Structure 1
């Protein structure tokens, strides 16, 4: 029997990954790889990319291409700050698309899992007098600092060692200042966890400040990157906006 007069069942809202943008070409490669991992976890879910600045496609262009479709914007950012509070909501409000904006990725236990994995890849192991510096970009927004401090607490619980936040810009302490503070507390085995979504100038700067031992380079982990836990977290933020997990058939 053929049923007529019924509209086709609408698909799920599009997921728009909102990246900051970087002049470092590795950043765009990393974001696209992460986008592919999200697609692999949810075949059939429309996943798009938009940048706040520096890289194409820019977020307004991505939203314009969606027309009047429904979309959830997931900031590929690690805490509250100007981009999360102003830039992204303003772009969403100006679009014809029916948009919702998810929370930033951090802080979250899945980020602690990813940071731990990156530290292990860099050769880190827990030893007596160990400590870790959580190197972040930095922001003048006090809520961003609150978020980074919470993330440091989550990572400390995951690793079982003290974790001290440090910043590349706009906030203190810097990584070298954090190294000095931790050594004053008797912490001599210090590694740097890179609290950046992708490689770039700030991540490179912070890694270079990792303290070495006996002419050996310091232990500095790679940025979060295209880790499976990152893709899971993006989908988690998307689903929280919708209020229920979304299953998409292949």
Structure 2
């Protein structure tokens, strides 16, 4: 029996955020209907990770973080939760980003806004005090730039600079009055509302249930499952 895909989202007080995560996982299930897919949250929303692990009734999970970068949750919280449950570290998949499939989703979301193909782009990530997470956002900006064929400026909605407001303003001051903002978030909520307040002419929606994100969730699951099987065989 295949391990359960236990998707671990950040969690939010905004019910629209949880709803968007559940829509994403419905797409994941449609792509691989034979796989058991469950969801939990690190904060605020329910079920918690501890609850979800307790409800597996002995079935082994693969934890797939629905997180876009390798920050504190990936490096500390999730490995600690696995250790507390007596599960090996290999059962934790990498963060979703950075990855070319996210560049595909981001490019599609920008196209949906009607932004022209030559508009300068700012990538608005959630932000972090963790330099690894900031580096991941910068790498994602590079992947999106490759996808779009034009430069992309990374920015951060919290804890670091430049902020999206600063990045958009800098591009406008440099002679680009019409700037596009790529919202590098999975779900609606506080940060998405903040991203929508910049003076950018076009602001994309969060990635949510984009099919490329669903394919990436399954790719990360497959990566971790292969690592687990390799460890078991060693």
- The answer, yes or no, to whether TM exceeds 0.5 is yes
Q: Distance in 2 between matches of 1:233 and 1:166?
A: 23
Partner residue in 2 for 1:105: 96
- Alignment check: 8 A CA contact 2:169 2:199 kept: no
> What is the Cα-based RMSD across aligned positions, in Å?
1.4
Q: Give aligned pairs, total.
A: 226
Partner SS state of residue 155, structure 2: strand
Instruction: Describe how 1:112-151 pairs up with structure 2 within 5 A.
Output: 112-127=103-118, 130-151=119-140
1:181 Cα deviation from its structure 2 partner: 1.9
Is 1:54 aligned to 2:44, yes or no? Answer: yes
**Match for residue 21 of structure 1?**
11
Q: Which structure has the larger Rg?
A: 1
Q: What is the alpha-carbon distance in structure 2 between the residues aligned to residue 52 and residue 219 of structure 1?
A: 31
TM-score by length of 2: 0.92
Contact 1:135/1:206 (8 A) holds in 2: yes
Matches within 5 A, 1:128-207: 130-207=119-196
TM-score when scaled to structure 1?
0.87
Q: Once superposed, which parts of structure 1, at least 4 consecutive aligned residues long, lie more than 4 Å away?
A: 96-99
Alignment correspondent of 2:232 = none
SS in 2 for 1:189: coil
Instruction: Spell out, residue by residue over 1:36-91, the C-alpha distance to the aligned partner (whole angstroms, 9 max, x if none).
Output: 11111111201010100110011110011113321110000001111111111111
Structure 1 unmatched runs, 5+: 1-10, 212-217, 245-250
Distance 1:242 1:20 in 2: 22
| Pairing partner for 1:69 from 44, 59, 62 | 59
Tell me, in whole angstroms, the C-alpha distance in 2 between the residues paired with 1:175 and 1:18.
27
Match of 1:237 in 2: 220
Question: Counterpart of 1:208 in 2: which secondary structure?
Answer: coil
Task: Flag structure 2 segments of 5+ consecutive residues without an equivalent.
Answer: 228-234
Corresponding residue to 2:21 among 31, 37, 44: 31
Q: Are 1:228 and 2:228 matched, yes or no?
A: no
